[in-house]
Amino acid sequence: MINVTYSGQKQDVLNQIQVSRLHSIHEDLYKKQGAGSEFLGWLDWPSGLSDEFLNNIKSTAEQIQKQADVLIVIGIGGSYLGAKAVIEALKPHFEKNPNFEVLFAGHHVSGAYLKQLMDYIDDREVALNVISKSGTTTEPAIAFRFLQNYMEDRYGEEASDRIYVTTDENKGALLNLAKEKGYQRFVVPDDVGGRYSVFTAVGLLPIAAAGYNIDELIRGAKQAEEELSIFDPENNPAIQYAAIRHNLYEQGFTNEVLATFEPKLSYVQEWWKQLYGESEGKEHKGIFQCRSLIRQIFIL
């Protein structure tokens, strides 16, 4: 049985959250049934990746490295935090004169940030990767408009070869623009939400361009996928975490903290915060009531 200690008391979690209920939830997930099942593509995504897909990501990353010193990734929320978390976790604390950088834009509306970013890249070779399912999300749309104009003014017709688009496969303003301009395209899968998209082209292209081994990353993801698919409450950490977390919430422990002493993991925390807020912070429910609180603030 799983035990947890809080407030000086040791409680048996699995006596309160019955194993049968956990098993039912686990089955619903892996049979991809129930509410939200149309967005469970992330669950077995790593094992479904083809060599053709990964080779395309790697060859495009090599192409970007040859044509540019800087890749600017334009996206917000899950469209940038997964890649940012991996890159920040893997890169050294200090690096003198890096040969290649991955920078990020479109995750806020700071005009000063955009101005300083364009000043910073002005004497460097640049490529863009804009990530948006629709192409109409405000923050990345504004950043892309400025940076697209910058690229076209600087590179002329060659700009189209330096702009890479990750968007919906069948519809959307960004898809239409990419077709019109001839930008190389990658797909945001319909059944994978942005906050789970780090192992799709959304995350893998920036990570590969930054110089990291995505084959090893996917190998680890496949191993985790296999291990976590087994219903074993005594040894499966995902089941244990879910059971303990739910039990504590039901007992009135409504604040949760993810702490690290390693600065390189700070963006893993930011990604985690966004993932949980996006998943649970709706209708005044859950630990992270992000959108509800934002609405209340604006109303006030």
pLDDT, tens only, 127-140: 999 999 888 999 99
Assign residue 191 a region (left: φ > 0; alpha: ψ between -120 and 50; beta: otherwise): alpha
pLDDT in tens, 25-36: 999 999 999 888
DSSP state, 263?
G
- Amino acid 284: pLDDT: 65
- Amino acid 16: pLDDT: 55
CA distances from 251 to 13, 14, 183, 246, 248 (A): 11, 14, 52, 9, 5
The predicted model gives 203-215 an average pLDDT of 98
The predicted model gives 235-247 an average pLDDT of 88
Is a pLDDT exceeding 80 seen at residue 102? yes
- Amino acid 85: pLDDT: 97
- Amino acid 297: pLDDT: 41
Q: What are phi and psi of 186, to 5 degrees?
A: -130, 160
Mean pLDDT across the chain, nearest whole number?
89
Whether the CB-CB separation of 186 and 165 falls below 8 Å is answered with: yes
- Amino acid 107: pLDDT: 94
- Amino acid 36: pLDDT: 85
pLDDT in tens, 255-296: 888 889 999 999 999 999 888 888 877 666 655 555 444 444
- Amino acid 287: pLDDT: 56
User: Percent of the chain at pLDDT above 70?
Assistant: 88
Q: Where are the alpha helices (DSSP H) in the chain?
A: 19-30, 45-48, 51-67, 78-90, 111-121, 138-155, 173-181, 201-209, 214-228, 237-250, 266-280, 290-299
- Amino acid 207: pLDDT: 98
Instruction: Sort 167 into a burial class: Cβ within 10 Å, 0-12 / 13-18 / 19+.
Output: buried
Range of lowest pLDDT (60-69, 225-234, 239-248, 278-287):
278-287
Q: How far apart are the first and last CA of the chain?
A: 47
226 bridge partner residues: none
| Confidence at 157, pLDDT banded by 50, 70, 90 | very high
The predicted model gives 147-164 an average pLDDT of 97
Query: Which residues neighbour 59 within 8 Å (Cβ) at sequence distance 6 or greater?
Result: none
| Confidence at 247, pLDDT banded by 50, 70, 90 | confident
The predicted model gives 110-123 an average pLDDT of 94
Q: How far apart are CA 123 and CA 119, in angstroms?
A: 8
Is a pLDDT exceeding 80 seen at residue 12? no
